[in-house]
Structure 1
Amino acid sequence: MSGGNQMPTLPSSSEKSLANSAADPVPATAVRDQLARMVNSPGFVSSVRLCRFLTHIVNRTIDGDIDSLKEFSIAMEVFDRTSEYDPNIDAIVRVEARRLRAKLKAYYEEGQGTVDPVLIGLRPGSYVPVFRWLNAQPAKHREEIAAAPPPGRICVAVLPFVNMSPEPEQDYFCDGISEEITNSLTRVSSLNVIARTSAFHFKGASIDIREVGQRLGANLVIEGSVRKAGEQLRITAQAIQTESGHHLWSETFRRELKDVFAIQEEIAQSVADLLRLHMPGVQGAVQSSAPNLDAYTAYLQARFLIHQQSPEALQAAMGQLRKLVEVYPDYALAYSDMAAANGLLALFGAVSGREVYPEVKANAERGYALAPESGETCTVLGGLRAWFEYRWDEANEIYDRALKLQPSHARAHRFRAMALLCQGNIEAAEAGLLRSAELDPLSASDCARMAYVHYVKADYDLAAKDLRQSFELDRDYPEARLYEGLLHFQQQNYEAVIQCLSPSVSPLDIGLLAAAHAKEGSLSRTEECIERLHQLAARQYVTPLAEGFAAIGMGDFDLAFKCLDEAINHKTIFINLLAVEPFFQPLHADRRSAKLLKKLNLSH
């Protein structure tokens, strides 16, 4: 194997303490003065959590207590976590540190920090701040905020491999190789692996590897190319350190097509071995699925469609997967993906959850039975138990198993978090979504769901910020649009609800639009929206929850309870949030609400 380059040794704790050494040290009084300026500045004063974080790490550093600036200690002392805090599940410290770095950068480049005498910076991977005098070359000092090699946990991103084949339609095959390598690496403990959604954000883009690393929070990027000609395959892969741009390992594989599974596993194993040389905590074997090549090719084509997530693409994927399992009845992931595709169709309101439930159940359970050691099959089974069957405790156990098998499985973190939210465990849900967002930082879905948690907590400013980020990643993301409408509704900004939801053809959006018109006192427009729902129902599936939304806005609680009860019978996914969704709050004093919650196996 080629690749004489070795990964640079990561800095030790003693080396990190040198971050504050300089020819002209900054006195503690000057640092405290600078801290006071910053926490009282317009950019910081509204962020209580970040001010508390910054104040804590600065004061501890001034006091010479940098050994206490570890993730676990900060979680308990700044973010009020208990001694049961697990950084593998709850990423709050790392996520907030990333937010703090962005805030510091904005302060010194765009805010009043442009004229301040002292720089307070925070390097990636470290919680020990650096203090510098700002001289005639301040930009150089500001760059130091992100200049040091990261200690501790390594984060890896596998970018989509470039299709160099004569046939452009082989994209699905190249994407599948990248996804398989990612999936294998998620099994390695003490390693963060960026999810496919975020890594594939850079597909087809010509972008500097340093920027990729910065946007993904990744220290190491795996990239490569694939050339497939007939039965011959050439795959080139390389590992690049994002900070320096140095190539740490590279390899070219010239094999027959049937060897693709061995190549995928070898690439993942090479990366894991490379990391183990410098990080003894990185443990766990990579594992690659090795099905029949024809089955694998057909599966990748269906998977390519599933990632598009439109109802049409999901239906097409379902058709392909059904044909696949007819020929290869033991292909576990095909069953799980059929269950997931149907689940997404129900989530988007394209089908009735009750209608697809039997097939979802059969496929999720079959996939798990065939491959119980797969984090993916566990995650899909957990989704069935939670969203369709309301077996919340069992779902939690299955999600925990998924994360034990694949600690960096972003979707397992996301599903687990949303299930916990339905059960009213808002803090645990937030922690889980923060972990998911760390692994999938460019996911419109994660941003939208983080916004939803902040909305449930009545932290409307943060919710609005997360929604803006979601729309920046996908301006048409339907989940974010619904959450934006709900946010405006809770703020009693009904005109904003009307503005953002009027163009939508989604039944739930139309129902919420009707509720906003009702609150504005426009009964005629409310009735127009309800009539739109009835017309839609003649052509497609419309969940009863849509009219339930309208009924709540009109104050017709008898109709609202009737619709919500029907929505539970239809297994509408959103109704699982009944216990925590603020829009349903007017119903909670009514004893009928407790009966609905009981049907969902949720407490009042």
Structure 2
Amino acid sequence: MRQLAAILFADMTGYTALMQENEQLARTKRQRLKEVLEATIPQFHGKILQYYGDGSLSIFNSAIDSVHAAIEIQQQLQQSPKVDLRIGIHTGDVIIEEEAIYGDGVNLASRIESLAVPGGVFVSEKVFDELRNQEHIQTRELGYFELKNIKQPTRVFAIANNGIVVPGRNEVRGKTAAPINRLAVLPFVNMSADPENEYFSDGITEELLNALTRVDGLQVTSRTSAFAFKGKNDDIRDIAIQLNVDKVLEGSVRKAGNRVRITAQLINAADGFHIWSETYDRKLDDIFEVQDEISAIITNKLKENLSFSQKTVPAIKSSIKNITAYTHYLKGLHFKNKLTPGDTRKAIECFKQAIALEPGYAEAHAMVAQCYCQLGTQGQMIPHTAFEIGHQYADKALELDDTIAEGHVAKAMTYLYYDWKWQAAYDSLQKAIELNPGAVVAYDLLGFYYITKGQKAQAVKVLEEAEQIDPLSPIIIRSLGMTYIFAERFDDGIGQAEKLLEMNPEMRSAIELKAWCIGLKGDWQTALEYFKEFHRLTNHPLKGMMGLGHAYARLGKIDKAMECIHKLEQRELDEPDSVIDGDFASIYLALGNLDKTFYYLNLCIDKRLGPVAYFIEYPPYRVVKADPRFSALKHRMGISTEAFPSK
């Protein structure tokens, strides 16, 4: 029998040694442990499945119950005669046959227990996600650990309630492989008198980060996660735990006139020791040489552990000589990274100003292309116009320099979102990742590709890899959450939404993600309340209608659903450049009107709204897939029939 369960491993420490020293005391402690387990675990609705040596394995239907049981057990065992016990908990799929239990979840729970300390309770990130809103359970993050026979680094938390032992990271570190050659480049601080120079210090950081990403054997945390600590005074060791790195590069930039002073220091995360620091006073025209020099020095400092042979870092490659053009480019990155349509348009202007001064600026061409593709995908521009421009700039970027990942990413966006040239998109993304393994936007797009091909498990795998590279990126966290929905792992999707809401309790995309997960689990009434909040936060009477209308229809509130449709019709009149046919399709789908659903899906294809190939894989569209008209939709987008299994 397969089921989802919270798995609790408990293991008595020092038992073998105690048996040799005092057999009677060892047996007494073991008997006391058994009595406490058998009294406590059923009290919290758990079941002891196995005893083995001086340990036990129990399962619970609820992760919260399992943690309450673990706390109670440890608090009781602190009393005389004290029993030193390690507890590890994880939730996952298990297979139970008679009294035997199998599954990857069991293996991971066992590894987490072996990592724990006497008197401690360690839990996986999945368990922690269940505990986020439990006021009576305190936790402390210990960071990521490389566990035996577990492919990906595992994020571990310690329960920190009274009476529970909470170790420092270093006390645990000796039990497992610590991260090696993982570097975070924190945002360099703007020390200039003019706060407007913020874009310049951010740009220096980004250029260094891109150069170091190309160093073979060095894993560099992506930009979004590193920039999550901008303006904060977090302890370097805490930052390293959250980003799973062993080295941190930080610094400052002071720009005045034609002079720039850059200070940089490389820090060992475990103890805060400064491995290296340097200050550079240079003319602004020499900025590329300074970046190159810093990158080479850092590589040299880490070379003892790096796997590549030449022990050198690729130079920061730039197709430009004009410092003013470079300044416009950095401003463009500043706006592009804000992600809103208005800021994306500002970014386009900055990148175009850079190109006007330096026509051969490949990176700027690539960024213009990406920005237009983004506007076309979001329905903020007529797709035909947006992607025609996107193609032109992407082609020019690759003509100027085909060794930068950004150009291949831009080309992949045009293939995926507009041309529906699936193989060409895949090839472009593979090339981008080959050129820059830290280019998480390429992983995000690759996840989109796999969803359109019906390969949901592969999409999950790719996005989970991206989250390892960029663990604090809202875009990646949300994309993985969406991918969990496609894979019908709705609880995991809720966990991703909770991560986002922890960053920002009013993040619209997180609230929408959580609403869909809850609704697709079957609770459309609760989902409706979240969709109402999402609509409120759009601050527009005609926006945020799709989820709202879908939920009303699912609840049988037909008049309310039709009211949402009428508001969408009004928005079409008010915003003729917007493309919202997918919103209509979703509401009519929930109303059970397949004729209207197909009508609007075909309009999406007519208007080349790229995401239609993606969202028809959403679980509610299963009924659409069973309709004979569905194969015609796929044919129009160049997707083979077998790519979309009906079950």
**Normalising to structure 2: TM-score of the pair?**
0.75
- Describe how 1:520-539 pairs up with structure 2 within 5 A: 520-539=555-574
Return the letter of the residue paired with 2:300. Answer: D
**Structure 1 residues 337 and 555: CA distance shift in structure 2, 3 A:** same
- Do residues 195 (structure 1) and 230 (structure 2) align? no
How far apart, CA to CA, are the structure 2 residues paired with 1:23 and 1:242? 35
The answer to whether the Cα contact below 8 Å between 2:484 and 2:493 also exists between their aligned partners in 1 is yes
**Structure 1 residues 440 and 543: CA distance shift in structure 2, 3 A:** same
How far apart, CA to CA, are the structure 1 residues paired with 2:275 and 2:53? 43
| 2:105 match | 51
| 1:42 match | 66
Residue 572 (structure 1) aligned to one of 598, 609, 621:
609
Return the letter of the residue paired with 1:163. Answer: N
| 2:22 match | none
- Do residues 127 (structure 1) and 133 (structure 2) align? no
How far apart, CA to CA, are the structure 2 residues paired with 1:550 and 1:220? 50
Return the letter of the residue paired with 1:553. Answer: A
| 1:560 match | 597
How far apart, CA to CA, are the structure 2 residues paired with 1:265 and 1:24? 57
- Do residues 394 (structure 1) and 424 (structure 2) align? yes
The answer to whether the Cα contact below 8 Å between 1:489 and 1:516 also exists between their aligned partners in 2 is yes
How far apart, CA to CA, are the structure 2 residues paired with 1:407 and 1:222? 19
Return the letter of the residue paired with 1:310. Answer: T
What SS class does the counterpart of residue 354 from structure 1 fall into? helix
How far apart, CA to CA, are the structure 2 residues paired with 1:499 and 1:112? 28
Residue 272 (structure 1) aligned to one of 284, 291, 299:
299
Shift of 1:596: 0.8
How far apart, CA to CA, are the structure 2 residues paired with 1:246 and 1:458? 46
| 1:64 match | none
**Structure 1 residues 128 and 408: CA distance shift in structure 2, 3 A:** same
**Structure 1 residues 154 and 525: CA distance shift in structure 2, 3 A:** same
What SS class does the counterpart of residue 566 from structure 1 fall into? helix
- Describe how 1:218-237 pairs up with structure 2 within 5 A: 218-237=245-264
| 1:362 match | 392
The answer to whether the Cα contact below 8 Å between 1:339 and 1:359 also exists between their aligned partners in 2 is yes
Shift of 1:385: 1.5
The answer to whether the Cα contact below 8 Å between 1:123 and 1:145 also exists between their aligned partners in 2 is no
What SS class does the counterpart of residue 495 from structure 2 fall into? helix
**Structure 1 residues 166 and 148: CA distance shift in structure 2, 3 A:** farther
How far apart, CA to CA, are the structure 2 residues paired with 1:592 and 1:522? 28
Output one character per residue of 1:131-190: Cα deviation in whole Å (capped at 9) or x when no partner.
xxxxx9944488622467954642111000011111111000000000001111111223
Shift of 1:326: 2.9
What SS class does the counterpart of residue 228 from structure 1 fall into? strand
Residue 445 (structure 1) aligned to one of 460, 475, 499:
475
More deviation, 230-239/352-361: 352-361
Kindly indicate which of the two structures has a greater share of residues assigned to helix.
1
Return the letter of the residue paired with 1:547. Answer: F
How far apart, CA to CA, are the structure 2 residues paired with 1:475 and 1:595? 42
**Structure 1 residues 408 and 323: CA distance shift in structure 2, 3 A:** closer
Output one character per residue of 1:254-292: Cα deviation in whole Å (capped at 9) or x when no partner.
111111111111112222222222233486733313322
| 1:550 match | 587
**Structure 1 residues 445 and 518: CA distance shift in structure 2, 3 A:** same
The higher relative CO (CA closer than 8 Å, separation ≥ 6) is in 1
| 2:48 match | none
More deviation, 347-356/44-53: 44-53
How far apart, CA to CA, are the structure 2 residues paired with 1:568 and 1:212? 45
- Do residues 145 (structure 1) and 172 (structure 2) align? yes
**Structure 1 residues 519 and 280: CA distance shift in structure 2, 3 A:** closer
How far apart, CA to CA, are the structure 2 residues paired with 1:125 and 1:26? 30
The answer to whether the Cα contact below 8 Å between 1:238 and 1:251 also exists between their aligned partners in 2 is yes
The answer to whether the Cα contact below 8 Å between 2:511 and 2:530 also exists between their aligned partners in 1 is yes
Return the letter of the residue paired with 2:145. Answer: P
The answer to whether the Cα contact below 8 Å between 1:578 and 1:597 also exists between their aligned partners in 2 is no
What SS class does the counterpart of residue 166 from structure 1 fall into? coil
| 1:12 match | none
| 2:84 match | none
- Describe how 1:226-265 pairs up with structure 2 within 5 A: 226-265=253-292
How far apart, CA to CA, are the structure 2 residues paired with 1:104 and 1:469? 11
Q: Which runs of 5+ in 1 are unaligned?
A: 1-19, 62-96, 115-120, 131-135
What SS class does the counterpart of residue 227 from structure 1 fall into? strand
What SS class does the counterpart of residue 223 from structure 1 fall into? strand
How far apart, CA to CA, are the structure 2 residues paired with 1:318 and 1:113? 44
How far apart, CA to CA, are the structure 1 residues paired with 2:255 and 2:391? 37
Kindly indicate which of the two structures has a greater share of residues assigned to strand.
2
**Structure 1 residues 151 and 468: CA distance shift in structure 2, 3 A:** closer
CA RMSD, aligned part only? 3.6
Shift of 1:210: 0.5
**Structure 1 residues 186 and 99: CA distance shift in structure 2, 3 A:** same
Shift of 1:483: 2.9
Q: Which runs of 5+ in 2 are unaligned?
A: 1-11, 20-25, 34-50, 68-88, 94-102, 116-122, 151-155, 157-162
Return the letter of the residue paired with 2:106. Answer: R
Return the letter of the residue paired with 1:47. Answer: G
**Structure 1 residues 111 and 349: CA distance shift in structure 2, 3 A:** same
Shift of 1:56: 6.2
More deviation, 396-405/231-240: 396-405
Return the letter of the residue paired with 1:271. Answer: I
The answer to whether the Cα contact below 8 Å between 1:123 and 1:146 also exists between their aligned partners in 2 is no
**Structure 1 residues 190 and 176: CA distance shift in structure 2, 3 A:** same
How far apart, CA to CA, are the structure 1 residues paired with 2:245 and 2:109? 27
| 2:515 match | 485
Return the letter of the residue paired with 2:598. Answer: F
Return the letter of the residue paired with 1:36. Answer: S
**Structure 1 residues 141 and 226: CA distance shift in structure 2, 3 A:** closer
- Do residues 433 (structure 1) and 463 (structure 2) align? yes
| 2:548 match | 513
**Structure 1 residues 139 and 576: CA distance shift in structure 2, 3 A:** same
- Describe how 1:47-446 pairs up with structure 2 within 5 A: 47-48=92-93, 51-54=105-108, 57=111, 99=125, 124-127=145-148, 138-140=165-167, 144-146=171-173, 150-151=177-178, 153-281=180-308, 285-290=313-318, 291-292=320-321, 293-446=323-476
**Structure 1 residues 570 and 59: CA distance shift in structure 2, 3 A:** same
**Structure 1 residues 370 and 141: CA distance shift in structure 2, 3 A:** closer
The answer to whether the Cα contact below 8 Å between 1:508 and 1:545 also exists between their aligned partners in 2 is no
What SS class does the counterpart of residue 253 from structure 1 fall into? strand
Shift of 1:427: 2.0
The answer to whether the Cα contact below 8 Å between 2:143 and 2:241 also exists between their aligned partners in 1 is no
More deviation, 153-162/414-423: 414-423
| 1:590 match | 627
Shift of 1:21: 11
The answer to whether the Cα contact below 8 Å between 1:101 and 1:122 also exists between their aligned partners in 2 is no
Return the letter of the residue paired with 1:242. Answer: A
More deviation, 564-573/283-292: 283-292
The answer to whether the Cα contact below 8 Å between 2:221 and 2:243 also exists between their aligned partners in 1 is yes
The answer to whether the Cα contact below 8 Å between 1:187 and 1:284 also exists between their aligned partners in 2 is no
Output one character per residue of 1:320-347: Cα deviation in whole Å (capped at 9) or x when no partner.
2233323322111111111211222233
Return the letter of the residue paired with 1:180. Answer: E
**Normalising to structure 1: TM-score of the pair?**
0.80
The answer to whether the Cα contact below 8 Å between 1:423 and 1:579 also exists between their aligned partners in 2 is no
**Structure 1 residues 391 and 542: CA distance shift in structure 2, 3 A:** closer
How far apart, CA to CA, are the structure 2 residues paired with 1:355 and 1:323? 21
Shift of 1:128: 8.3
